Structure 1
Amino acid sequence: MTAHLTGTREDWLKARLDLLAAEKALTRQSDAVAQRRQALPWVKVDKDYRFVTEAGEAKLVDLFAGRSQLLVYHFMFGPDFSVGCPSCSLIADGFNGIHVHLANHDVTLTAVSLASLDKLFAFKRRMGWTFPWASSATSDFNFDFSASFTEEQERKGVVDYNFRREPQVDWSSNGVVAGLALQSGTTPGDYMRERPGMSAFIREGGAIYHTYSSYARGMDAIWNMYPWLDRAPKGRNEPNGPWWRLRDDYEAPTAMAQSCCA
C-alpha cells in the first residue's frame, strides 16, 4: 500500500487543473524573464581571444561559423583532467541534435574548455559527439568569463563565480566534489578550478558583443534530463547528490535487467 496521497479520477482532475493554473503562470513568468534576458545591455568584446579548433587556430569571430549569434557552453575539462566532467557530459549529451537545428536558425552552439584539443577530441570521439568544441588553452577566455580559476585566486580567496565572491573552501573534504573529480580523473582542487556555465555573443556592425552568461543553478534549464525528472513520479530523487556517470560507464541494460530479476 502506498503512503502517497491517492484519490479518484475526479480528485486527480481537480488537482491537475489547479496545478495547470500554476504551470501557466510559471510559463508566463518564464516568458517575461526571457524578454528581460534579451533586453540586457550588450558589452563590446575588445580582447583578441584565440582558440584551437579542429580546423586550426581561430579567433572568437571564427567560432560564429558565419552566423550572427554564438552560444558557448563552458565545459568543465581542465588541463589535468583525464576525461570531461560527468555533469557537463550529461548536459552535452543533448547537444548532438539541437546544434544542427540552431545552426539553421542563425545560432552556433559550441563547447569551449581549457584542456588541450587532443584531449577534447579523444573524449569527443569516445562519446560520439558531433557538436563543435574548441580549446581556450591559448587565451584568457575561460578566466575572463568565470569558467576557470587559478590556484592563486583560490589562495587569495578571490574566486568570483555566479556573480558573487565565493568563501574559501577545502574541496578535498567534500564527498560530492571528490566523487565527480574521481570520475574526471583529477583532484578535487583541480576539478573545482573549472566551473560550468554558458555565455552568449552576437555579431553586429562589425563588432562582437557579450550579451548574457549563466552559471550554477542558472544552468538547470539546459540539463536535458531535469525537465523529464521534474515530471516523473519521484521527481529528481537525489537525496545523496549526483548519481549520474558518463553515458558509457553505466551497466548495460540487459545486465541490469538480469540483476534485478535474478
Structure 2
Amino acid sequence: MNHPPIVPTEDWQEAVNTLRVHEKALTRQLDAVAAARRRLPMTPVEQDYVFEGPSGPASLTDLFQGRRQLIVYTFMWHGVDAVCSGCSMFTDNVGHPAHLNARDVTLALTSHGPLDDLLALRRRMGWALPWYSSLNNSFNADMGTVDGFALNVFLRADDRIFRTYTTTARGVERLGSNWSFLDLAPYGRQETWEDSPEGWPQTRPYQWWRLHDEYDTTKDPS
C-alpha cells in the first residue's frame, strides 16, 4: 500500500501551513453559506400529519417537543432485512441532543416503516434520537422523498409550522456535529459573531456551553 511522501518536519509544517490557508477560506465560505441560509424565506406546512410514536399518535407539532425549531431526518426504510447502512452511519454520527435542545432545536427521525421495527433497530443500535413512523401519512413524499432519505428543517411561529430548509444526497454527508446541525437551523448557533438578520436570538459564544448533563432541563422550552 502506498503512503504520503516522507519529508523533514520543516517541510511538513510548510505544507500544512499552505493547506491551512485553503481550510480557513473554506471555513469562512461555510459561514457565509450558513448566513445566507438563515435569510431564506420559509413556506407554511398546511398538512396536519399524524405519526405513530412510542407514546401513540403524534402530530408534527408534537415532534418539536415544545421547542421552536425541528430538524427531521427521514431514515430510508426497506425493511428489517435491508436496513440502510448510509442512514445508519448518519445516525451513528449524531452528537448528544442536549446541546441542540439548549438552542431550542429538536432532532428526530421518521421512516415509512412499522414503528415496532424502527424501535427494535433503535434499541439494537443504542440510538437516543426519537423515531416516528410515517407509514400512514404522506410526510415522506411531501418532504421530497418517498423511499429515499432527506433532511428537513422546520420552525414554529405564530402557532403555525413552516418549512425553512431541505437537503438530501451528499448534503447530509458532512452532518453529525451539533455545530453542523445548528448551521442548518433558522436561528443558527445564536452566537454574537454570526451574521444573522436583525432580531435573531444571540448570546456571547462559549457562555451557553455546558456538559450535556448540566443544562437546565426544567425550563419550559416553549
Provide the TM-score with structure 1 as the length reference: 0.64
1:202 partnered with 2:201: no
| Structure ranking higher on relative contact order (CA contacts 8 Å, 6+ apart) | 2
- Matching residue of 2:19: 19
Q: Secondary structure at the match of 2:156?
A: strand
Structure 2 residues without counterparts, runs of 5 or longer: 178-222
Counterparts of 1:119 and 1:2, CA distance in 2: 44
- Distance of aligned partners of 1:142 and 1:2 in 2 relative to their CA distance in 1, 3 Å threshold: closer
- Identify the residue that residue 135 of structure 1 maps to in structure 2: 133
Three-state SS of the structure 1 residue aligned to 2:99 is helix
Match of 1:51 in 2: 51
Alignment of 1:4-15 (within 5 A): 4-15=4-15
Correspondence list, 1:112-261, <5 A:
112-148=110-146, 194-222=147-175
Residue 196 of structure 1: how far off its partner (Å) = 1.9
Tell me how far apart the structure 1 counterparts of residues 129 and 42 of structure 2 sit (CA, whole Å).
Answer: 26
Q: Give per-residue Cα distances to partners, 1:137-172, cap 9 Å, x unaligned.
A: 111000111221xxxxxxxxxxxxxxxxxxxxxxxx
User: Aligned equivalents of 1:216 and 1:207: distance in 2?
Assistant: 28
- Paired letter, 2:93: G
* Alignment-derived partner of residue 101 in structure 2: 103
Q: CA deviation at 1:5?
A: 2.4
SS of residue in 2 equivalent to 1:130:
coil
Residues 158-212 of structure 1 show CA distances to partners (whole Å, capped at 9, x for unaligned) of: xxxxxxxxxxxxxxxxxxxxxxxxxxxxxxxxxxxx2122100000111100000
Give ranges in structure 1 of 5+ residues lacking alignment.
149-193, 225-262
Q: Secondary structure at the match of 1:52?
A: strand
TM-score normalised by length of structure 2? 0.75
Q: Which letter maps to 1:146?
A: G
Q: Return the offset for 1:83.
A: 5.3
Matched with 1:34 is 34
| Amino acid in the other structure paired with 2:149 | P
| Cα distance per residue 1:18-55 (max 9 Å; x no partner) | 11111000000000011111211100111111100011
Identity of aligned residues (%): 42
CA distance in 1, matches of 2:24, 2:58: 44
SS at match of 1:203: strand
Mapped partners of 1:3, 1:204: distance in 2: 53
User: 1-side partners of 2:81 and 2:65: how far apart?
Assistant: 29
Larger Rg: 1
Figure out how many residues of one structure are paired with residues of the other and give that number: 178
Q: CA separation of 1:108/1:3 partners in 2, compared to 1, >3 Å: closer, same or farther?
A: closer
1:222 is aligned with what amino acid? Answer: L
CA drift of 1:111 comes to 0.3
**Displacement, 1:223?**
5.4
What's the RMSD between the two structures over aligned residues?
A: 1.9
Structure with the larger helix share: 1
